[in-house]
Copies of this chain bind each other. A is one copy, B any other.
């Protein structure tokens, strides 16, 4: 039975040594967020994730959710674990103080979220979706709506959903058919079918607040005619408590490849009472303001499954005796050597380690940007953080989920046949992770968002906000005694990256399909360069500690070894992506549909 042990040492390395979160908290006037508090939060979250949530991960997968006449029951233990989650205040950590939240910074919330999600991804979706719903109402709802719903969503007493997708439209929300009819009392009657609704119905909270995209009778066609509605499962009564049952129902549960303890619902709204959020026809804009945060969370999913898979694979590779080392027996007193002696097993483990820790560094880098964008007193710094975030979000979402899928598949491969059966949990990590490249905007959509909207539409401005950071780092570390050669390599990549954008931009002026044709390889290329930067930042911190005579030599030497591995064995893939994207659109577009 696999365990999850939060990688606290690595988390603290990134938080304290690589990025110095504390300096940020102090600069932002968050004096209460002391190093002691952060440390205590990490320790407690690790205990809760490992002790309460991880043991429910496999049983949740095996049991799945049940539905009977529209009533959904979550797997055994989930309801109780959620109650503990709420009672311990995990749900309200980053929530607004005025609605009962603790007002802690987003960075800390993301890091606790990592542990919860690594221990039990399906569980983490229930509060995860609620946060998106809460944020949307907080940003765009009126005061009455905020009072009614945020007081319940903030502590987690009620949960929330986002109801976007319909049978005929996922990516293309302009095709939404759900209708909202205005009523005399200012409310609306909402009718339509939504599919793939995560946590659309369950037994963990007393009420569920659906945020539904729908069209008004006189709405303009396409995406400009979409409005957002609050459609609660139970209408709040005069005291703001659970009142009358609304006219909506879960029609069925989807049979999915993974995340089976998360109830994915077909939701039928049948003249359900709803309330307009903000202005009419602005629903898609409102949704998009929530999207970036959700996409960072989904990107993190790749790292979470990857970490859990690595822990099991490493343990197995140290224990499993099979064959002898090629250079002679490593443990001659045993019937065979542990498989970690074999170079190819190490290649798999180091690939996992390099992507996991690189993805963690990327996640925490964006976590710090979230804080800067929210708290910084310097307007230019806030704007810069927003630009970097906008640029990095599609990279986080797509690169971290693509690599997460590779990592979980390697984690299964290390176990051989034992990875393919249920017992060790490795195949569940692959199945659960597989949704991440799909939802919250497929990775193909992320690639278009990156290259089209974020890079070309801003004429490289958002990208430069980030490449400037890479450039600064390279300048500061030019001629670094141990890392200088790698710094030069990164510096050259950073220049090549910008040049590619120029070239694609020129081609796209002739033919817009050049953007789509280059997009996915450009995103992956960008991901490899971004991770090269973060790995060098980590290596520089580790080298400094070693130079200062640290007592934790193993930890820091491992960082240097993994950075070297990344540059030598994974970064070369960037050039393959470059060749592919440079080949242009013709090799994709010249073939007729009839010729496929």
Residue numbers of A with Cβ under 8 A of B are 165, 168-172, 174-175, 195-196, 254-258, 314, 318, 321-323, 325-327, 335-336, 340, 342-350, 353, 405, 409, 412-413, 416-417, 419-423, 427, 430-431, 434-435, 437-439, 442-444, 447-448, 511-513, 515-517, 519-520, 554-555, 557-558, 561-562, 564-565, 568-570, 572-573, 575-576, 579-580, 583, 585, 587-596
Contacts and interface: CB of A to CB of B under 8 A. Distances in A.
Contacts of A417: 165, 170, 195-196, 438-439
A573 B349 CA distance: 21
Contacts of A257: 420-422, 427, 430-431
Nearest to A349: B596
* Interchain residue pairs A-B with the least CB separation, the first 5: A343-B516, A572-B579, A558-B595, A568-B583, A257-B427
Contacts of A591: 346, 350, 557-558, 561-562, 565
Contacts of A405: 409
A515 to B, nearest CB: 6
The secondary-structure label for the interface of chain A is helix
Contacts of A343: 513, 515-517, 519, 585, 588-589
Please tell me how many copies of the chain the complex holds: 2
Given A412-B434, A430-B434, A520-B344, A587 B572 contact: no
10 contacts: A168-B321, A170-B416, A172-B323, A255-B422, A257-B427, A257-B430, A346-B591, A555-B595, A561-B590, A572-B580
Contacts of A169: 322
Contacts of A430: 257, 434
B575 A561 contact: no
Contacts of A422: 255-257
A511 to B, nearest CB: 7
A126 B322 CA distance: 29
Nearest to A562: B591
